[in-house]
Amino acid sequence: MNQTKVNNLEALAKLVRFYILRMSTKAGSGHPTSSLSAADLMTALFFGHLKSGFDHVIFSKGHASPLLYALYTAAGEISESELDTYRKFGSILEGHPNPRFKFAEVATGSLGQGLSVGVGMALGMKLETGNWKLETGKVYVLMGDSEVSEGSVWEAIQIAAYYKLNNLVGIVDVNRLGQSMPTMLGWDVETYAKRIESFGWDVHVVDGHNFGEINTTFGKLGKSSKPQMIIAKTIKGKGVSFLENKEGWHGKVLNEEQFEEAVRELGEVDRMMRGKIAPPNGGALKTQNSKLKTVNTKYKILNTEYKLGEEVATRKAYGEALAKLGDINSDIVALDGETSNSTYSEIFREKHPSRYFEMFIAEQNMAGVALGLSKRGKIPFASTFSAFMTRAFDQVRMSAYSLGNVKFVGSHAGVSIGEDGPSQMGLEDIAMFRAVFGSVVLNPSDAVSCAKLTAEAAAHEGIVYIRTARPATPVIYENTEEFKIGGSKMVRTNKADKLTIIACGVCVHEAIGACDLLKGDGVNVRVLDAYSIKPLDEKVIKEAASETNNLVLTVEDHYFEGGLGDAVLNVFSQSGLTKVYKLAVSKMPMSGKSSELLGFEGISSVAIYNKVKELLNFTSSRQISEM
């Protein structure tokens, strides 16, 4: 790079620093010092090396949003007046970037997640070529040195090396200072380099304020067969002497007097440069999932061939359905946390090996990678045991804020898994996924409903959670039945019904068993399969309640808190007419047979039968007890 270009970059970096200080001072909040440290690195990347419509940039270090917005202002994509709205209510220039700002593909700032998203995007770009060795654009991920303490970063580092993602470039801004104290390694960039290199990356150590070194390094990134990491030694607050390398300035801004002093120290700032240097072609960085709407209608033809009464685990039905969906739509991909022979995602892997990505036992990274794949127009299904989804909750909620199109599938839900014991039982997952903004939560009860709902999940754009079970359960629906998000199925109904049992998953079968027991006493109850827990079929639930003496009993293989019962309670929260009673897991689970544990927790057919007897206040000459 010639000296004129270097001079232009240095002048642009000064303008970028001016904008960083100006917007954060006017906002009265923000992270200017963390932005100043990476200003030279990102100015060189954006205005010297980013390829138009080809490369992507993720600010995993999301608190450095002043830097991101300053770069686009310098590029002429944001006006100075709009920059003054930073952090104000209604502004797209929020405190941490998210897709409301059109050049931010994902929401960032929950530290440690950006590199996983970058892995997913890099994988997606490789898939698009159809040839793993062909040149693609690059994904650049800016990280802070503090966030490298997050385990998810190292999960991403090892999987990127495993898949040989030479189109992925990490940049660690080593400015030494964290939020409250110095980082563990400080400026020991050589130790950072050794650790990352040991995972199979090519590593480049640079002075993060030397444009010669920075440009040379960016210029040679295309020559590696491995993922690459730039370790940049920087100074927090660089460019303003009273901020440089000073503790106590993280998340603090200048007052007007300090701002004027800082601007004088920056020297002459050429604001006329704005928009006159080749911009980073931001509009082309926005990925659109353009293929979704053209193929979704095909999912309706998904055929199932299960026989009524046949016992099939919903987890297996999921795997079979996903493989069929993969035949229909080449954008469907599968990821698994090294449980594919339990979740049955192995069926997809066998049919579509190039679109299956093993994530090993690293659920946080799996969720982040799935988000990145969705941003390349893929429709990722990410599966593991439902209990282990809890590890990735932060990544799941950030996927929602990123407008991700990800399908999470949790198998081995509830105490019905049996002998493995409580560490393997997903008992919090419904509550967790219900709490995610805009999410859909599905809990099918048999093979037909699971297969059809897997197709519905693929057709739905957004975050979907499918809860599957370990034990085989009888097929109760004809193959011609249709299922929709927000729907339900009435599996037992009679005009003389005295109460409505609302259940999901394996407990639908327990409710059916209780219904049959009650018939022996001449008592009719209604059984509703609430397979869609969010959104819930409120209309049908209200109608059922009104027709059955306003008595409702919910049953679920999940803890009391936040599950199906609470969702149903919300339906009647404004009404004093309907009484809702709940059966759910309440005791510390243990190892045992599925039937033993369902009885122990009071959610078996016998337990439901006894609860209905109590609620309807009738006696029976029969003595029915758990087997």
The predicted-structure confidence for 383-395, as pLDDT tens digits, reads as follows 999 999 999 999 9
Reduce the DSSP state of residue 534 to 3 states and report it: strand
| d(C-alpha 452, C-alpha 454), whole Å | 5
Tokens read off for 626: 């758990």
Tokens read off for 14: 């000064």
Give yes or no: 363 in active site: yes
| d(C-alpha 543, C-alpha 58), whole Å | 49
Tell me the backbone φ, ψ of residue 232, rounded to 5 degrees: -110, 120
Whether the Cβ atoms of residue 323 and residue 294 lie closer than 8 Å to each other: no
Domain regions of the chain by residue span? 3-277, 292-474, 489-616
Give the pLDDT mean for 509-523. 97
Whether the Cβ atoms of residue 448 and residue 418 lie closer than 8 Å to each other: no
- Give pLDDT, residue 53: 76
Give the strand pairing for 500-503 and 526-529: parallel
- Give pLDDT, residue 627: 64
Please identify which of the residues 77, 150, 320, 363 carries the catalytic annotation: 363
Highest mean pLDDT among 4-18, 297-311, 346-360: 346-360
Q: Which pLDDT tens digit goes with each residue over 81-100?
A: 999 999 999 999 999 999 99
Q: 269 pairs with which residues across the strands?
A: none
Element (H, E) at 394: helix 393-401
Tokens read off for 445: 């009860």
- Give pLDDT, residue 482: 95
Best CA proximity match to 136, nearest among 236, 53, 61: 53
Tokens read off for 386: 């439902």
Whether the Cβ atoms of residue 499 and residue 525 lie closer than 8 Å to each other: yes
Q: 174 pairs with which residues across the strands?
A: 233
pLDDT confidence band for 299 (50 / 70 / 90): low
CATH code of the domain made up of 292-474: 3.40.50.970
pLDDT higher than 70, residue 119 = yes
- Give pLDDT, residue 294: 39
pLDDT higher than 50, residue 156 = yes
Q: Cβ neighbours of residue 64 under 8 Å, at least 6 residues apart?
A: 31, 34, 35, 38, 142, 144, 173
> How far is CA 54 from each of CA 49, 77, 365, 525, 556, rounded to the nearest angstrom?
11, 18, 24, 61, 48
- Tell me, what amino acid is at 411? S
CATH code of the domain made up of 3-277: 3.40.50.970
Q: Which pLDDT tens digit goes with each residue over 235-255?
A: 999 999 999 999 999 999 999
Q: Which pLDDT tens digit goes with each residue over 393-429?
A: 999 999 999 999 999 999 999 999 999 999 999 999 9
| d(C-alpha 592, C-alpha 306), whole Å | 29
Report DSSP letters for 172-233, one per residue. EEE-SB-SSSB-SSTT-HHHHHHHHHHTT-EEEEEETT-HHHHHHHHHTGGG-SS-EEEEEE
pTM of the prediction? 0.96
Share of the chain above pLDDT 70, in %: 96
pLDDT higher than 90, residue 297 = no
| d(C-alpha 164, C-alpha 156), whole Å | 12
pLDDT higher than 50, residue 6 = yes
| d(C-alpha 472, C-alpha 445), whole Å | 10
What value does the mean pLDDT of the chain take? 94
Give the pLDDT mean for 128-138. 80
pLDDT confidence band for 222 (50 / 70 / 90): confident
pLDDT higher than 70, residue 301 = no
Report DSSP letters for 253-321, one per residue. ---HHHHHHHHHHH----GGGTTTSPP--GGGG----TTHHHHGGGGGG----PPTT-EEEHHHHHHHH
Query: How many C-beta atoms lie closer than 10 Å to residue 587's C-beta?
Result: 10
Length of the chain (residues): 627
Classify residue 438 by burial, with Cβ atoms within 10 Å: 0-12, 13-18, 19+: exposed
> How far is CA 578 from each of CA 499, 531, 543, 573, rounded to the nearest angstrom?
11, 21, 11, 9
222: left (phi over 0), alpha (psi -120 to 50) or beta: alpha
Best CA proximity match to 235, nearest among 39, 45, 413, 1: 39
- Give pLDDT, residue 64: 98
For helices 65-74 and 39-48, what crossing angle results, to 10°? 40
Radius of gyration of the chain (CA): 28
pLDDT confidence band for 361 (50 / 70 / 90): very high
- Give pLDDT, residue 290: 36
CATH architecture of 489-616: 3-Layer(aba) Sandwich (3.40)
| d(C-alpha 401, C-alpha 403), whole Å | 5
Give the pLDDT mean for 487-495. 97
pLDDT higher than 50, residue 521 = yes
Give the pLDDT mean for 139-165. 98
Query: How many C-beta atoms lie closer than 10 Å to residue 131's C-beta?
Result: 9
pLDDT higher than 50, residue 259 = yes
pLDDT confidence band for 319 (50 / 70 / 90): very high
pLDDT higher than 80, residue 288 = no
